[in-house]
Amino acid sequence: MTHGWERSGGIEAVELARRVAHAGVERIVYTDVARDGTFGGINVEQTCMIARESGLKVTASGGVSSLDDIRRLRNVSACGIDSVIIGKALYEARFTLQEALRENWSVQ
């Protein structure tokens, strides 16, 4: 999506990820804009598919509602997801930053 997520960019996310990987990019942030800010949970399946299909490291974004979302991402980190952006859940005190950091899969 472009223009503040108001217009379609005319390309599927996975195809864009493949193209930027081919151009030498090593990491992307994938945000499911339909879930962003909704507390609907991370779209783990789509995020994983983009990581696998592109070979990129992916930062997941959009929809984090609980520590369970972070745990789900940690459990599928082998697909290429290695980080997450948490916004509204922290602002709305769904959990604390300290609690989220304890779920950090890179230190386990």
The answer to the question of residue 5 being in a domain is: no
Q: How many domains does the chain have?
A: 1
Distance CA 55, CA 27 (A): 9
The answer to the question of residue 4 being in a domain is: no
pLDDT digits (tens, 9 = 90+) for 65-101: 999 999 999 999 899 999 999 888 999 999 999 999 8
For residue 49, give both structure tokens: 């598919």
The answer to the question of residue 71 being in a domain is: yes
- How far does CA 25 lie from the centroid of its chain? 17
Residue 44, domain CATH: 3.20.20.70
pLDDT of 1: 58
pLDDT of 57: 96
User: Nearest 10 degrees: CA dihedral of 70, 75, 78, 83?
Assistant: 10
pLDDT digits (tens, 9 = 90+) for 28-65: 999 886 656 666 678 899 999 999 999 999 999 988 89
Determine which helix (DSSP H) or strand (DSSP E) holds 78, and give its type and residue range.
none
Structural domain of 87: 13-107
